[in-house]
């Protein structure tokens, strides 16, 4: 199980747009440098965030900006926007358990519902955390560095 780095890159992008938006022209190149990520990946993630209505991209002076208030964006919104999980769910089950084995025959029945409950609990927690929370925490860490 692993959520792709697109998720943390997306959160980084949103946080950087908020932090630098008033002082810098925020571009995909600028964001790629901040995230330490390949510019192509950053542009793909930005496209997904734009399609989800989280960011706005313009070719003029303003560059990239937030399209929603940080209080209205949750970690779950970002998670869904960047397609971190397929329709099959967070956990990918091995395809060919041995049906001649009693464990192999029954492991799906025993584990599927439990894994779905784990995913639901994680997604519920993600809905409770806003990007405002992340930005606030990031700014506190930046302030600690400055002190």
Number of domains in the chain: 1
CATH number of residue 59's parent domain: 1.10.10.10
Give me the pLDDT at residue 54, please. Answer: 97
Q: Which residues pair with 89 in a beta bridge?
A: 86
Helix axes 39-51, 28-35, angle to 10 degrees: 110
Q: Which two tokens stand for residue 84?
A: 């971190």
Query: How many of the other CB atoms lie within 10 Å of CB of 115?
Result: 16
d(CA 120, CA 114): 10
pLDDT, tens digit (0-9, with 9 covering 90-100), for 65-112: 999 999 999 999 999 999 877 767 788 778 888 999 999 999 988 998
Find the domain containing 31 and state its range: 5-146
| pLDDT mean over 55-61 | 80
The pLDDT of residue 2: 65
| Confidence band for 147, pLDDT divided at 50, 70 and 90 | confident
């Amino acid at each position: 199980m692993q959520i792709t780095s697109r998720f943390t890159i997306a959160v980084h992008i949103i946080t950087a747009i908020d932090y630098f938006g008033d002082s810098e022209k925020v571009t995909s190149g600028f964001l790629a440098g901040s995230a330490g990520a390949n510019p192509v990946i950053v542009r793909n993630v930005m496209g997904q965030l734009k399609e989800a209505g989280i960011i706005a991209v313009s070719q003029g002076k303003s560059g990239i900006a937030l399209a929603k208030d940080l209080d209205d964006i949750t970690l779950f919104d970002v998670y869904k926007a960047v397609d971190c999980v397929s329709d099959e769910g967070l956990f990918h089950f091995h395809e060919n358990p041995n049906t001649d084995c009693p464990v192999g025959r029954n492991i799906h029945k025993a584990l599927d519902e439990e894994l779905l409950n784990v995913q639901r609990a994680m997604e519920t927690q993600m809905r409770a955390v806003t990007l405002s929370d992340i930005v606030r925490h990031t700014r506190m860490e930046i302030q600690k560095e400055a002190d």
